[in-house]
Structure 1
Amino acid sequence: MDEDAARWVVRKEGAKLEPDTLAQFDAWYGADPLHAQTYDALAASWRRLDQVSVLPIARKKRKSRVKTLASACVLMGASFYAWQMFEQQGLINSGVEITQLSLPDGSVAILDAQTRVRLNFEHGQRQVSVESGRAFFQVVPATAQTGPFTVQTGLAQATALGTRYEVSFNDQVSAVAVYEHTVQVQCQSCDTSQPVILQPGDRATVAHGQLQAQLAQSTASTHAEAAPAWTNGLLSFDDVSLREAARQLGQYTHRVIWMGSEKAEATRVSGVVQAARPAAALNLLTVGQGLQIRELPGLIVIY
Structure 2
Amino acid sequence: MSSPMDDKMDQALDQAAEWCVRLSEGELPPAEQAALDAWFAADPEHRELLDDAVAAWRAVDEQAAHPGMIALRGEALNDLRRAQRRQWARKPGPRVAIWSAAAAVVAAVALGGGLAWRSSLPDVYRTTEGERRIVELADGSRVSLDAATVLRVRYDGDRRRLWLDQGRAKFAVAKDPLRPFSVAAGGKLVVATGTTFSVERVADQMRVVLYEGHVAVLDGEGAKGRPPPLLRVNGAPTEKSLTPDHELVAQVNSEAASVAPADPNRAAAWESGQLVFQDEPMSLAVERVNRYAREKLRIGDPSVANLRISGVFTSGDTRAFVDGVTAVLPVRAVSGQGGETVLRAFQRQPKNFTAGGESSVE
Name 1:164's counterpart in structure 2: 196
Name 2:55's counterpart in structure 1: 88
RMSD: 4.2
- CA gap 1:244/1:226 in 2 versus in 1, 3 angstroms: closer
Q: 1:202 aligns with which of 225, 229, 246?
A: 246
- For the residue of structure 2 that corresponds to 1:248, the secondary structure is helix
Q: TM-score by structure 2 length?
A: 0.47
TM-superposed CA distance for 1:202, in Å, is: 3.4
**In the alignment, structure 1 residue 152 sits paired with structure 2 residue 184:** yes
Q: TM-score by structure 1 length?
A: 0.54
Matched pairs, number = 213
Q: Which amino acid aligns with 1:210?
A: E
- CA gap 1:104/1:266 in 2 versus in 1, 3 angstroms: closer
Name 1:223's counterpart in structure 2: 263
Does 272-281 or 251-260 show the bigger shift? 251-260
Q: How does 1:98-117 map to 2 (within 5 A)?
A: 98-117=132-151
- CA gap 1:122/1:148 in 2 versus in 1, 3 angstroms: same
Partner Cα separation in structure 1 for residue 124 and residue 184 of structure 2 = 15
Name 1:126's counterpart in structure 2: 160
Name 2:27's counterpart in structure 1: none
TM-superposed CA distance for 1:196, in Å, is: 3.3
Q: How does 1:244-255 map to 2 (within 5 A)?
A: 245-255=285-295
Identity %: 24
Q: 2:257 aligns with which of 212, 217, 225?
A: 212
TM-superposed CA distance for 1:200, in Å, is: 0.8
Partner Cα separation in structure 1 for residue 314 and residue 219 of structure 2 = 34
Query: Does the CA-based 8 Å contact 1:275-1:281 persist in structure 2?
Result: no
Name 1:281's counterpart in structure 2: 321
TM-superposed CA distance for 1:87, in Å, is: 8.0
TM-superposed CA distance for 1:293, in Å, is: 7.6
User: Deviation per CA, 1:43-90, whole angstroms, max 9, x where unpaired?
Assistant: xxxxxxxxxxxxxxxxxxxxxxxxxxxxxxxxxxxxxxxxx9998374
Q: Which amino acid aligns with 2:297?
A: I
Partner Cα separation in structure 1 for residue 192 and residue 209 of structure 2 = 12
- For the residue of structure 1 that corresponds to 2:319, the secondary structure is helix
Partner Cα separation in structure 2 for residue 85 and residue 100 of structure 1 = 22
Query: Does the CA-based 8 Å contact 2:203-2:284 persist in structure 1?
Result: no
Partner Cα separation in structure 1 for residue 187 and residue 152 of structure 2 = 16
Partner Cα separation in structure 1 for residue 331 and residue 252 of structure 2 = 37
Query: Does the CA-based 8 Å contact 2:174-2:193 persist in structure 1?
Result: no
Q: How does 1:174-185 map to 2 (within 5 A)?
A: 174-185=206-217
Name 2:218's counterpart in structure 1: 186
Name 2:274's counterpart in structure 1: 234
Name 2:20's counterpart in structure 1: none
TM-superposed CA distance for 1:288, in Å, is: 6.1
